[in-house]
Amino acid sequence: MLRTPTGGAGHGTATADARAMSIGTVLLQLRDEFPEVTISKIRFLEAEGLIEPQRTPSGYRKFSTGDVERLAQVLRMQRDHYLPLKVIRGHLDALARGEQPVLPTPGGGQRDLSDGFWDSGPGAATAARIGRSELLAAAEVGEEQLDEWESYGLIVAMPEGGYDAETVTVAKLVADLGRFGLEPRHLRAMRAAADREAGLIEQVVAPLRRHRNPQTRAHAEATAKELAELSVRLHAAFVQTALRVRLH
């Protein structure tokens, strides 16, 4: 839920000025519902014409409460519907005109409300996976970029085709890092490190998976998940420690 900005009471222009927010304040409001949102993401959505915040004479952005709510709508539609920004912009503009447009779905399918993936019939995205077009929309990239990511092994389709939820997360993160100038060749080492960590976890749980007791085999999955979470936390701590050494 979005936070409500606080401030002194006022009238007219004073009230409007009090409600005008900096991009940092907007980020704090959105973080509760969208923990992965960044200032770069907000600027990107502005550049794509999804929002049009006012500018001060010195060039600083000033966001209204309407801007923040529109941002939240855009982020929800990206997160829950995997729609291209062009489609989202058209939908929100229609709502602003007082129309009641039906939310479109990629490929004309029906949305599976249980998990945010699409079900458009045989061969299309299902609750277990999404198709290539939906992945492109979620990551906001073109075919050429996705081909490059796949050539470096950053994105891997499922054996039966399509992409799972974790791959969607990877694609979004790779796209976000790309806006800072990090190219797929830079990220290949991260992928290799993740594969090594996965192999180590697999070694730990392998005896449990081979056990005759079904409960023990089921415990292997829970153990693997816990080990993965600990591994991610340790990796983050290593990165923070290394940065602290380099930046001080």
Domain membership flag for residue 6: no
What's the pLDDT band for 104 if we cut at 50, 70, 90? low
> What is the pLDDT, as a whole number, of residue 105?
53
Is the confidence at residue 93, as pLDDT, over 50?
A: yes
pLDDT, average across residues 4-15: 47
| Same-domain pairing of 18 and 81 | yes
| Same-domain pairing of 23 and 85 | yes
Which H or E run includes 238? helix 214-247
| Same-domain pairing of 18 and 91 | yes
> What is the pLDDT, as a whole number, of residue 121?
40
Report whether 67 contacts 53 (CB < 8 A): yes
Please count the structural domains in the chain: 3
Report whether 104 contacts 49 (CB < 8 A): no
Cα separation, 116 vs 136, whole angstroms: 15
Residue 2's Cα: distance from chain center in Å?
18
pLDDT, average across residues 146-167: 90
> What is the pLDDT, as a whole number, of residue 116?
38
Rg of the Cα trace of the chain?
A: 22
Look at residues 92, 192, 174 and name the one whose alpha carbon lies nearest to residue 136.
174
CA angle, 137 then 141 then 145, to 5°: 135
| Same-domain pairing of 243 and 227 | yes
Helix-, strand-, coil-residue percentages of the chain, each rounded to 5: 60, 5, 35
Is the confidence at residue 147, as pLDDT, over 90?
A: yes
Among residues 155, 182, 209, which one ends one of the domains? Answer: 182
**Which CA distances in Å does 26 have to 4, 10, 159, 209?**
10, 21, 41, 47
Torsion of CA 110, 116, 117, 119, to 10 degrees: -20
Among residues 182, 198, 214, which one ends one of the domains? Answer: 182
Cα separation, 62 vs 82, whole angstroms: 28
Domain holding 236, by residue range, is: 184-248
> What is the pLDDT, as a whole number, of residue 3?
56
- Phi/psi for 126 (5° steps) reads -130, -175
Is the confidence at residue 112, as pLDDT, over 90?
A: no
> What is the pLDDT, as a whole number, of residue 209?
84
Q: Three-state SS across 99-154? A: CCCCCCCHHHCEECCCCCCEECCCCCCECCEECHHHHHHHHCCCHHHHHHHHHCCC
Domain membership flag for residue 4: no
Domain membership flag for residue 102: no
| Same-domain pairing of 48 and 92 | yes
What's the pLDDT band for 68 if we cut at 50, 70, 90? very high
Structure tokens at 14: 């004073």
Is the confidence at residue 168, as pLDDT, over 70?
A: yes
CATH of the domain at 38: 1.10.1660.10
| Same-domain pairing of 178 and 194 | no
Who has greater pLDDT, 20 or 147? 147
DSSP annotation of 212: S
Among residues 182, 210, 239, which one ends one of the domains? Answer: 182
* Paired residues of 118 in beta bridges: 111
- Whole-model pTM: value is 0.52
Structure tokens at 180: 């800072």
Is the confidence at residue 12, as pLDDT, over 50?
A: no
> What is the pLDDT, as a whole number, of residue 1?
57
What's the pLDDT band for 187 if we cut at 50, 70, 90? very high
193-225 confidence digits (pLDDT tens): 999 999 999 999 898 888 888 788 778 888 888
Least confident range of 124-138, 140-154, 171-185, 229-243? 124-138
> What is the pLDDT, as a whole number, of residue 202?
92
Q: Please report, as a single letter, which amino acid is at residue 82.
A: Y
Q: What is the mean pLDDT of the chain?
A: 80
| Same-domain pairing of 196 and 237 | yes
